[in-house]
Amino acid sequence: MAKGIIIREAHFPGRAPIEAYGNGGFRFADMSHRGSLLCLPSGIHGWEPADPVALKASDFDRLLAEADKVEILLVGTGKDLRPLPAALRAALKEAGISADAMSTGAAVRTYNVLLAEDRAVAAALIAVD
């Protein structure tokens, strides 16, 4: 049986600062990723929320599985700040996670600072052009 190209889920197994963002993706750890990211204690994962404009708790299942290692979630909502839906805020609060929504640029900068301080931080970053 012939083997073709195997597509694996995008995952970087470690924590790394985001070096650059824009053009629909991000650069980190001398790599680039096209699309949105979920930066967790377990690593940096490719992330595709069902609807980036209306985030739901189910978009954060991977984060919620690691909730015991995360105190702060920074949500980069794209170019513009969009508040998090009440149901999502409630699910995160129930898991013990404080969530802050901001533009993706602000979330990247804040994530890098908190990561450098070795804080229990995670980030959900929606890619911007």
pLDDT at 9: 66
pLDDT at 50: 87
Count of C-beta atoms within a 10 Å radius of residue 21: 20
Sheet with 11-12, side-by-side order of all strands: 11-12, 43-47, 36-40, 121-125, 72-76, 98-102
Distance CA 6, CA 51 (A): 27
Q: Is the pLDDT of residue 7 over 60?
A: no
pLDDT at 95: 98
Count of C-beta atoms within a 10 Å radius of residue 99: 21
Tens digit of pLDDT for each residue in 79-129? Answer: 999 999 999 999 999 999 999 999 999 999 999 999 999 999 999 999 999
Q: Is the pTM of the predicted complex or chain greater than 0.85? A: yes
Which ranges constitute the DSSP H helices of the chain? 61-65, 86-94, 104-116
Tens digit of pLDDT for each residue in 14-60? Answer: 899 999 999 999 999 999 999 999 999 999 999 999 898 899 999 99
CATH architecture of 11-125: 3-Layer(aba) Sandwich (3.40)
Contact 26, 35 (CB under 8 A): no
Beta strands in the chain (DSSP E): 11-12, 18-22, 25-28, 31-34, 36-40, 43-47, 72-76, 98-102, 121-125
